Structure 1
């Protein structure tokens, strides 16, 4: 068969399998379609399909097909991260800066500390730390992976729970937005390359100047041209960031972060996000699954993922509980917010992919982090749904 035919077989599997599992299995309550797509990507990877049916795996996911899938996945996730940057709105966070700063800081800081302790333990054992990693980079990367909240997935889940536009939803978006900035800032710190620091400083200086010019242009061109200008800007920033060693994902995020969401119609933005999730992001999830490796770490991968899950979930809940005590929230409010901030799938996967690309973590570490991200995200809706029923006065109360 030709490469194009095998590529289309792969695409057929990518889109058919997760949809049938999600629809026929009625998994929406505990595993939205995006989570099913991630899990299916893992099952189609070398750790499961490749181990059970190695000949079939090598036939479908041969080198040319994987190269094509990776190219689609790269652009898809750049677009998705770019949209996440655009949707950051820090004005409300500044208006409620004391509450937002305390909550976001503790919701990020406590699981970061817990995850870093787990990272120290992993660094002391062979097989977890990448060959190009300094110990501090590895530990900080593992810690931040435990602290991540995936803002795009959080938005999707809150839409399904019908609380996105409610006061509690808007509060949680403020906390997650601040954490999002911290996540990408830490990633940029981890990726600092002292051998190429001159290039990185030059890129950041050029980016600052270009951003001012770009913002001046965007408010002066017709609204229907802003999408085209924004995509050109995305490609340029991704190229510049990758050229200087910061990775194209950092470029994609900062490209969106300097843009204002009110430049675009919100309904069009929501539609684009949903269509990306439907049309091209499943390819990214499959591409991610192809990088999982259970053989490398054996049973230790599952042990590590369980430890990371405890650090992640426990850290978030402890952090929001402390914030609730400081800010005098009502009983149960900290737990509700802590569980909603558990959603890690996608942004944490992007974060871990970058660490793997830069050889800061190994495939075994990546697999453990991926399992942790999927598990924490799947826990969110089943635990939050009954809490929302019992705590209606908190859901509709402004803070």
Structure 2
């Protein structure tokens, strides 16, 4: 009998809870359903537009990451750098393969409505990528062998640039978009013939176990000068393309020079002072500072008119080196960029590459062969001849030429800019993407072939005389690349 009052209280609370639930939950839901069922549903288009973009984008991202990583793993097993497979995966996902075999599946995995978001993230990836490229440039490598690096690298740019200009004069009528003049078309084709993919080159040297060798350091040293010169040429080309008059070109060039001077003379000392003797707490705070700096510098050069990637590259050059902050920034940004953002860029480039145009027009293959011949002869042959003339034996000279002929991802950056500006046609864009793949694929096999050649019959002095004081097994660079 003592439990009877307690049982009554529990029963009372149960009835009270059900009453509150019915009054404050069931009744409001019923009224809401009744009201909604009477409303006009004519805004179905807007609802559809807002209903699935995130799901579509997540599916696109997962598809791109899986394809790029699988293709990268496969090409590494075949003795090629993973970037070759990642670029090829982008082409396969586009209209050239998947879009041709199954347009429905291609639209499901990579819907056209998701391309704007894909492009924005791809552009962010490129900004961070070129920042890392600038961060990896160690200009101290040039000291003591500046003459050798300067001559080889400038020959490796000037010769293919000239050949690209000459090819553009012949190809302008056939391959240039309507309304594009000879000057911007020729400049972009010249730059696309001249670039070297420094990050891909660094990765290749690691995979070929040449990162700390004399040949590897000679190639990196030349590529350092090559990269700075090529990006500067690209900035000038963009200025000439986008400016409406010669005075506009002059304003863009002057503004770019002033911005560069500001970074070198003001921002670099401030960053060095900030990092010097920094505590762990300050280092943690510096990571957002680094990312903010990349984005602000990219924004500044985009406003100036020489593309966002140039500002990000300059910020990488002036960023402090050889400290805990640099290592932390590189590890953090590199992992995020190479794992997520760059595969999105490969996919976006692949979606813009249509091999069907080459099969539709047989003459396109002749243009492709001409472009590959100009690119390889202009870059590989001229670099090798210059290195041989400066005392390097032929095997090493040819290895340097083959390494500088690697274009990889850097070429795709240039080509996408040209396509966005309307200077390159879709047909020429596809041809140049294939050229970038071919020149990158041939790098490792050629280097292995030239390494097997003995340096007999050469009157040239030993290679150590050209790059004095180096040890073949010494770690000659700051750190091995992580991107």
1:235-274 maps to which residues of 2 (within 5 A)?
Answer: 235-263=295-323, 267-268=327-328, 271=331, 272-273=333-334
Compute the RMSD of aligned alpha carbons. Answer: 2.6
Distance change in 2, residues 1:260/1:284 (3 Å): same
TM-score (norm 1): 0.90
1:201 corresponds to: 254
Aligned mate of 2:68, from 6, 18, 39:
18
1:3-24 deviation per Cα after TM superposition (whole angstroms, max 9, x unaligned):
222222212221222333444x
TM-score (norm 2): 0.75
State the distance in 2 between where 1:172 and 1:199 align.
32
Report if the CA contact (8 A) 1:168-1:396 is conserved.
no
1:306-345 maps to which residues of 2 (within 5 A)?
Answer: 306-345=369-408
State the distance in 1 between where 2:263 and 2:397 align.
41
Mean CA deviation greater in 372-381 or 110-119: 110-119
Distance change in 2, residues 1:238/1:391 (3 Å): farther
1:105-133 deviation per Cα after TM superposition (whole angstroms, max 9, x unaligned):
222222222222222221132xx224564
Secondary structure of the residue that 1:232 maps to in structure 2? helix
1:363-390 deviation per Cα after TM superposition (whole angstroms, max 9, x unaligned):
1111111100011101111221243345
Mean CA deviation greater in 235-244 or 221-230: 221-230
**Residues matched between the structures, number:** 396
Secondary structure of the residue that 1:137 maps to in structure 2? helix
Distance change in 2, residues 1:219/1:300 (3 Å): same
Higher relative contact order (CA closer than 8 Å, sequence separation 6+): 1
**5+ residue gaps in structure 1?**
none
1:181-200 maps to which residues of 2 (within 5 A)?
Answer: 181-192=228-239, 193-195=243-245, 196-197=248-249, 198=251
Distance change in 2, residues 1:244/1:116 (3 Å): same
**5+ residue gaps in structure 2?**
1-50, 456-461, 469-483
- Aligned-residue offset at 1:295: 4.1
Aligned mate of 1:157, from 195, 204, 207:
204
2:27 corresponds to: none
Aligned mate of 1:120, from 169, 179, 189:
169
1:160-182 deviation per Cα after TM superposition (whole angstroms, max 9, x unaligned):
11111222211111100111111
- Aligned-residue offset at 1:187: 0.9
State the distance in 1 between where 2:304 and 2:97 align.
36
- Aligned-residue offset at 1:251: 1.9
Greater Rg, structure 1 or structure 2? 2
